[in-house]
A and B are shown apart, each in its own frame.
Chain A
Amino acid sequence: MNEETSAEMLSEGGNVLLFKIDDTIYGIEIKYINEIISIEQITIVPKVPDYIKGIINLRGKVVPIISVRRRFGKEEIPYDERTCIIVLEFEGNNHVGIIVDRVCEVTNVNSKDICNTPDFKNVNSNRYIKNIIESGGEIKQLLNCEKLISDL
């Protein structure tokens, strides 16, 4: 399934939501995006890894929240009015929210702008990056959402 989607992305391009952490631009395929909400009260869940900030109540649904900064091993910064939670939807009505510094835009990516990530010897490198996109003179990293939430 994972391979299939990435192959699909490679050949066809598609819409990608771009967001920023520090000055790096990341992208997420639009099919995963459920909605974008502003940061709200997060209930702490004890005894889970520190990148899981807790859970929120999204209209009656309990949604776990991941801090992308912590996930990528960066330091937390205080939330401001641009901090957002992007709610992703996965198969089986499974929702996960990710906290990002700021959401940029939705852009259409051409297949020719997409290139693969290099294979590093270390298996753990690039594990969350599916492809690299270069367009408009900027480099964007397309995230592998499944890995982002499933890798322990």
Chain B
Amino acid sequence: MAKFEAGMESMVDTYMFETSSLLEQLDQILMKTENENSFGSEEINEIFRIMHTIKGSSAMMGLNNMSHLAHAVEDMFYIIREDNPTINSKNVLFDLVFSASDLLKAEIELLQNDEYAPSDFSEVMDKIEKYAASLKSGGGAAEEAPAPAAAESAPAVSAQDMIKVSSISGDNLTTVKVTFEEGCMMENLRALLVITNIKENCAALEFEPADIETNADSSKIIAENGFIVHFRPNSDISSEYITDIIGKTANVSTCEILGEGGEIVKEVPAYTLTRIKVIFDDECKMENLRALLVVNNIREECEELGFIPDDIENNPDSADMIVKNGFIIYCKSAFDEALIDMIRSTPNVKDAVIEYKGSDTPPEETAPQSALAEKPAEAAPAPKAPEAKPAPAAEKPAAKPAEESKPAAKQGGGVKQSLISVNLNKLDQLLDMVGEIVITEAMVTSNPDLKGLRLDNFQKAARQLRKLNSELQDIVMSIRMVPLSGAFNKMTRIVRDMKVKLGKDVDLVFEGEETEVDKSIIDNLNDPLMHMVRNSMDHGIEDTQEERIAKGKPGKGTITLSAYNSSGEVIIVVADDGAGINPEKVLNKAEKNGMLTRPRSEYSDKEIFNMIMLPGFSTNETVTEYSGRGVGMDVVKKNIEKVGGSVSVDSKWGEGTQFIIKIPLSLSIVDGMEVSVGSSIFTIPINSIKESFKAKPSQLLRDTDGREMIMIRGECYPLIRLYELYDLEPSTTNIYDGIIILVSADNKSACLLADELIGEQQVVVKPWPPMLNNFDVKQNGMAGCSILGDGSITIILDIGNIISDF
């Protein structure tokens, strides 16, 4: 099912991204204002602006339901802004806006599904409209409030006359007329698509109508007159190539070349241009040709250039007019004084004077600002300012950016930005590519062909390569890092909602929210965090303030979200100062569910607490809307393990509970120790290895069940024979021939028996092929696989998983 018309898909991503970030912004404003319990005019304007943008972009995408909902909210805020009514029931207002924001968010989620059907928002819209009406009647005055689409104010009135100029200091422009398929609708957006497609390949680009992005009416103009594009391709590209791209764009029916080597002629308000009057020598004859010479001389230096009379090239009579009135040049350039000099140096020019100095005031704001614009011109009349001349080069870079950001921005670019948004897929590809480079580096530097050779210079170069590669890796990783604050901020909303529903008073405190983790981890972190915060709100914090005060705690509960870095891991702690977990209760419940495998007394507190993350466990007797369905904590555990992390619970009865999440900084490259077991090669992450050694007979012992153990410095560890664990054919079953590796994870340690240590290597974690995920390979202690330098495959072990079973 096609959600969007053809040609729109490319914009869907951008639309969803923008709208969701706007909605997030909205939520934050709402949270803030709700806390302060008052709307400042700034906030109202901001909400109004957000809703206006969503309305517009949704309408553009053809999502009318969203557009209408946003419109309703916008209207409501229009009334609030204009009439400034006394708002009696702020709660209702907040709830309305929150629910609207939720609906819009949910709709965006829905959009990502293949089968999308627009939801019906009429219920909420009715409520909003009713509320708006009540506001209005309460506010009394200003019935006329027509709720116009506000931002479109700014009347484009130009008191001054318009001058035709050729622009972008340039010629060699190809002009094409693009027409779209009849009845394809939204021609302006399709035109925008055309522009986006060719933008990269064009050194200069102009189009008419120019306001396709902002003015929906431009689609009519395009439908009637076609869409005119002037462009100059990059030097290495032919204009045919560009027209070809245009022709291939969706819905384009024809692309007709109107002219090549032409100039862009457009009308610009005269006040933006500097007016120069040129007077030629008396009796020099053929003034029109001399004028042409002047124009050609300065053309390169001007961004925009026009002149009167404008027919000097083909009308000999214009010579008379020049004699009579002088030759007037309208131009825009970075340094007018230099221009004057150039004009003066042209043969037969008697003099050139700046009659009026142009200002950069943007055309839209003509009326209020043209008066202002006169001022700088007066303050610096300087028809001949010789001191400005010696340093035109220094002036140029300084003047350019300032100018470009204004009217020149119309020419489609040049504005410098230090932030860009990039499609995550591209970053993933980049990361993959870096991974491949790491593998290839290993392939080259440990190539079997090099064995036994003495290659000092090669080794030196290889070390350098390795260093650069690891820097590259770091940079790519840092690109993908995003602060946790985004994920944390989402929790404020959840806490807010639950506060209302559960009637508990709770503060949410952030610590270290600037800590960064990989983007792909963040995406998998939202759900677990939400579950944990809900859990803390619901089960953690005591039901009543009295209960808390009786325990000597402040009446208001606190949930703390904190994050910090620790040795290659990020640790996130969700802590509450609530009732804590009662170990007895957990044990009772576990016993009831038949989850205990040992006598009760043998369980440590830690083990007991972690039981709440087993599937099908919920101690809360009553199931609430938010938690206590017995799903949740085990899902949290699964989700976090999916990104290679781990969760543990700590609690003090009566004092509070902590959920501790440990996640790796990055997912994809690990330092590993390779070990062989028979013909298989396994990689053990270095950070879980404590030591490796050969076993001595004095260290070995067996318990009564026949389980093997190894004593190391007075500590006893279980022995896991990898070949037994994974049913492999080892090269030796003799424990004294193999190698023992002491590993630890999650405060547990064990010894692994492998045949041989092969060596240390950085490996790139490749996910399991989807088919193998059906067989729980991850639950069997295999985190992923990786390709080694020689092309063979190694399996990366998940030590935590392996030893948790022993």
Contacts and interface: CB of A to CB of B under 8 A. Distances in A.
Given A47-B726, A60-B436, A63-B769, A55 B774 contact: no
Interface string A30-59: 000000000001011111110010011100
B679 interface: yes
Interface in B222-241: none
Contacts of B775: 47-49, 52, 152
A47 B771 contact: no
Interface string B768-791: 111110111100101001010001
Contact of B770 (A43, A44, A48, A94): A94
A60 B787 contact: yes
23 contacts: A41-B792, A43-B795, A44-B728, A45-B777, A45-B782, A45-B795, A46-B680, A46-B728, A46-B795, A47-B726, A47-B727, A47-B775, A47-B777, A47-B782, A60-B436, A62-B769, A62-B787, A64-B771, A94-B769, A95-B769, A96-B769, A150-B771, A152-B774
Q: Which 9 A-B pairs have the closest CB atoms?
A: A46-B726, A43-B793, A47-B780, A48-B775, A64-B769, A64-B771, A57-B787, A94-B770, A62-B766
Contacts of A48: 772, 775, 777
B165 interface: no
A95 B768 CA distance: 11
A127 B521 CA distance: 39
A109 interface: no
Contacts of B792: 41, 43, 57
**Contact-size category for A:** 20 to 34
A56 B787 CA distance: 9
A118 interface: no
A136 interface: no
B767 to A, nearest CB: 8
A64 B727 contact: no
A149 interface: yes
A92 interface: yes
B772 A94 contact: no
Contacts of A46: 680, 725-728, 780, 782, 795
Given A55-B793, A57-B793, A44 B680 contact: yes
Contacts of A150: 771, 774
B439 interface: yes
B778 to A, nearest CB: 11
Given A49-B775, A56-B793, A60-B787, 11 more contacts: A45-B772, A45-B782, A46-B780, A52-B775, A62-B769, A62-B785, A62-B787, A63-B769, A64-B771, A92-B770, A96-B769
Nearest to A149: B771
Contacts of B780: 46-47
B41 to A, nearest CB: 51
Contacts of A152: 774-775
Contacts of B726: 46-47
B770 A62 contact: no
B53 to A, nearest CB: 35
Contacts of B794: 43
Contact of A64 (B436, B439, B681, B772): B772
Interface of A: 41, 43-49, 52, 55-57, 60, 62-64, 92, 94-96, 149-150, 152
Interface of B: 436, 439, 679-681, 725-728, 766, 768-772, 774-777, 780, 782, 785, 787, 791-795
Contacts of B777: 45, 47-48
A41 to B, nearest CB: 7
A57 B787 CA distance: 7
A147 to B, nearest CB: 12
Contacts of A92: 770
Nearest to A96: B771
A60 B432 CA distance: 10
Given A43-B792, A45-B777, A96-B769, A55 B679 contact: no
Nearest to B790: A57
Scoring B727, B728, B787 by chain A CB atoms within 10 A of each residue's CB, the highest score goes to: B787
Contacts of B766: 62
A148 to B, nearest CB: 10
A49 B792 CA distance: 22
A38 to B, nearest CB: 15
B727 to A, nearest CB: 6
B208 to A, nearest CB: 43
Most buried by B among A55, A56, A95, A96: A55
A52 B679 contact: no
A134 to B, nearest CB: 32
Contacts of A62: 766, 768-769, 785, 787, 793
Nearest to A56: B793
B769 to A, nearest CB: 5
Contacts of A95: 769
Contacts of A60: 436, 439, 787
Nearest to B766: A62
A44 B769 contact: no
B680 A52 contact: no
A83 B780 CA distance: 31
Nearest to B775: A48
Contacts of B439: 60
A52 B772 contact: yes
A49 B769 CA distance: 15
A146 to B, nearest CB: 11
Contacts of A94: 769-771
B552 to A, nearest CB: 52
Contacts of B728: 44, 46
Nearest to B768: A62
B404 to A, nearest CB: 43
Nearest to B680: A44
Instruction: Point out which of B769, B770, B772 has the most chain A C-beta atoms below 10 A from its C-beta.
Output: B769
Nearest to B436: A60
Contact of A44 (B679, B725, B774, B776): B679
Contacts of B774: 150, 152
Nearest to B439: A60
A90 B117 CA distance: 28
A4 to B, nearest CB: 15
B623 to A, nearest CB: 33
A37 B668 CA distance: 29
A44 B769 CA distance: 14
Nearest to B776: A47
Most chain B CB inside 10 Å of its own CB: which residue of A45, A48, A94, A149: A45
B544 to A, nearest CB: 51
A41 B791 CA distance: 10
Contacts of A52: 771-772, 775
A94 B774 CA distance: 13
A56 B791 CA distance: 9
B204 to A, nearest CB: 40
Given A92-B770, A95-B769, A152-B774, A57 B795 contact: no
A106 B728 CA distance: 38
Contacts of B725: 46
A62 B777 CA distance: 15
B520 to A, nearest CB: 17
A32 B758 CA distance: 39
Contacts of A149: 771
A31 B151 CA distance: 54
